[in-house]
Amino acid sequence: MGTPHMGSEKAEDLVVVQKLASLMKLQTAVATNLTKELRAFSNSVQDINMEFTIDVHRSIKLLCCYESHPQRLPNGAKEIIVPQWSAVLQGVDNIDLNCTHSGLPKFASPLHPRFELFWGEVGRLVRLAEPPPIKPLKKAPTWTDEDVPQYEIPLACPETANFPRPSPRPRQNPPPRRRHEVGKASKVSRESVIRSSVDKLLKEVTSRINADLPTQHETAVSQAQNRTQPEKFDVREFSDFTRLLRSVTPENKGLDREAPHWQTCSWILEDPTFVKWKESKSGSLLFITGSPGCGKSNLAKYIQDAMKASNDERWEESLVIPFYCDSLESSRHNPPILDLVVQSMLSKYTTMSQATRKKLESVLETLGVDRQKSRSPLEAENSGHFIQLMEIVQLLVTAEDARPTCLIIDGLDQCEDEFIIRLLRGLDTIFRRESSASALKVVVTSRMADSIRGFALANNHIEVTPGLILNDIQKVVDEEVDRIILSR
């Protein structure tokens, strides 16, 4: 709950420490060296965490809880102590407990909504737990004095001597226990009391979960047909929300980019990693990395046209959403990628099930959107309600009637590292949820930056090398040479 797995934001304030250290006269060198050591230590720990947490959740079921309300500090300011991107491990299920950092482990009562949310996740983990097979232990035979006759053997005796069988040796009464032995007995009794209390707690957990299951099953059976029936959907009903989404420039949509050369980029369609990712029925991430100038943006444009064909019989073509990042300072901090995804997906919906609609309305209520007065615009905060937008994306792509969608993000390394980690963690969480399949596929083209490396290595990854694009270069050069010759 609120553990800074990737280091809290306070760990990034070493520059402030450096400035304070520069004011010291006698210990300036010591303070400067200490700051350098702290910086190196923080970077090392972060690298270890990124490498360690890539696969740990695949063998251990984990749940990360994070805060969403700023904590009041002693100086009167309010800040998020451990942000979501720091408290959530990559690929691990996570929930927002809707509280401050100090309120994470505190619940008002068992009936409080926050506790009910947390308790539901605990029940889910308990149901996933499988006890190991119990093998009966074979008890070795125990020998006592009564099982063996006792004889007294003299040191020297004739071979023909007959010895009578003596009676078993009488057992001696145990000596009175000493003070430290009495202490051990009391310690054992305390352990038994603790063990019994733990057993009672586990029984209560099991009974509560078993009691919840029949009710949930009956409710699901009675409402399944009504919830899954598609209803007419008009995006104009949510116009008060959609018009608050941030606008996207034509450059971000790639409208100013020309299509790649007609003889290039076709090798990507035969790449085994790309074919596996494209033909997979479940959603996933595909990273295409390479050095600057290797043609990643051309590949993004080429894939944009190749992904329009739908693998789902219910849809004639898939929804392709391209977003081309730029290096402008205004768009590095929080580019409107999720705004474009939400707006594009909602505009394509013509029908929506009752269950999906209700979930969407509940998420919009958390945004504080008043549909009559249209207050609380999304741009009021620097975060742009990132968490809520990610929840809407997750809801739309995991719905039963979700349309196959492909999101293409070109040049993600142009954004700030904090945003990159938050975005990729959110998308990675969607794809790794076992309870629901996703209709979303994501392509990310980027340089192999430190903030992207861990995600790229843990997912589908294609590295653009000179050998892959050598034929493309040769085709373009040959055509240009032929054009020059013909022009003469």
Confidence of residue 376 (pLDDT cuts 50, 70, 90): very low
Does 80 have pLDDT greater than 50? Answer: yes
pLDDT in tens, 281-315: 888 899 999 998 888 999 999 999 889 876 666 77
The predicted model gives 15-33 an average pLDDT of 47
**What does the block give as tokens for 126?**
């308990």
Q: Is 417 helix (H, G, I), strand (E, B) or coil?
A: helix
Q: What is the CA radius of gyration of the chain?
A: 33
**Mean pLDDT taken over the chain:** 74
pLDDT at position 8: 47
Around 382, how many Cα atoms within 13 Å sit in the side-chain half-sphere? 5
| Burial (Cβ within 10 Å: 0-12, 13-18, ≥19) of residue 18 | middle
Among 14-28, 252-266, 449-463, where is mean pLDDT lowest? 14-28
Across 11-136, the runs of DSSP E, i.e. the strands, are: 63-66, 71-72, 78-79, 93-96
pLDDT at position 42: 58
What is the distance between the alpha carbons of residues 253 and 337, in angstroms, rounded to a whole number? Answer: 10
* Of residues 68 and 377, more confidently modeled: 68
What is the distance between the alpha carbons of residues 410 and 264, in angstroms, rounded to a whole number? Answer: 18
Does 23 have pLDDT greater than 50? Answer: no
Which residues are CB-neighbours of 281 under 8 A, at least 6 positions away? Answer: 311, 437
Confidence of residue 320 (pLDDT cuts 50, 70, 90): very high
Q: How far is CA 436 from CA 224, 358, 395, 397, 430, in A?
A: 16, 17, 10, 10, 9
Q: Is 61 helix (H, G, I), strand (E, B) or coil?
A: coil
**What does the block give as tokens for 288?**
């295409």
**What does the block give as tokens for 443?**
């392509």
Please name the residue that has the structure tokens 């509560």. Answer: 208
**What percentage of the chain has pLDDT greater than the value 90?**
14
pLDDT in tens, 2-22: 777 655 444 444 444 444 444
For the chain, give the longest Cα–Cα distance.
Answer: 131
The domain ranges of the chain are 9-128, 230-487
pLDDT at position 443: 96
pLDDT at position 377: 44
Among 231-235, 373-377, 416-420, 449-453, where is mean pLDDT lowest? 373-377
* Of residues 365 and 265, more confidently modeled: 265
pLDDT in tens, 165-217: 555 555 555 555 555 554 555 555 666 766 676 677 677 777 766 766 665 55
pLDDT at position 206: 74
What pTM value is reported for the model? 0.55
The predicted model gives 70-98 an average pLDDT of 80
pLDDT at position 327: 65
Among 40-44, 270-274, 341-345, where is mean pLDDT lowest? 40-44
**What does the block give as tokens for 351?**
């029908």
pLDDT at position 9: 45
pLDDT at position 322: 94
* Of residues 5 and 441, more confidently modeled: 441
pLDDT at position 229: 61
* Of residues 362 and 146, more confidently modeled: 362
**What percentage of the chain has pLDDT greater than the value 70?**
63
What is the distance between the alpha carbons of residues 209 and 195, in angstroms, rounded to a whole number? Answer: 21
Confidence of residue 364 (pLDDT cuts 50, 70, 90): confident
Architecture of the domain spanning 230-487: 3-Layer(aba) Sandwich (3.40)
Strands 440-446 and 285-289: parallel
In degrees and rounded to multiples of 5, residue 9 shows phi and psi of: -65, -25
Does 72 have pLDDT greater than 70? Answer: yes
Conformation bin of residue 40: beta by default, left when phi > 0, alpha when psi is -120 to 50:
alpha
* Of residues 4 and 124, more confidently modeled: 124
Does 69 have pLDDT greater than 80? Answer: yes
Please name the residue that has the structure tokens 């609120």. Answer: 2
The predicted model gives 391-402 an average pLDDT of 85
> What secondary structure does DSSP assign to 367-399, as a single string?
TT--TTT--S-GGGSTT-SHHHHHHHHHHHHHS
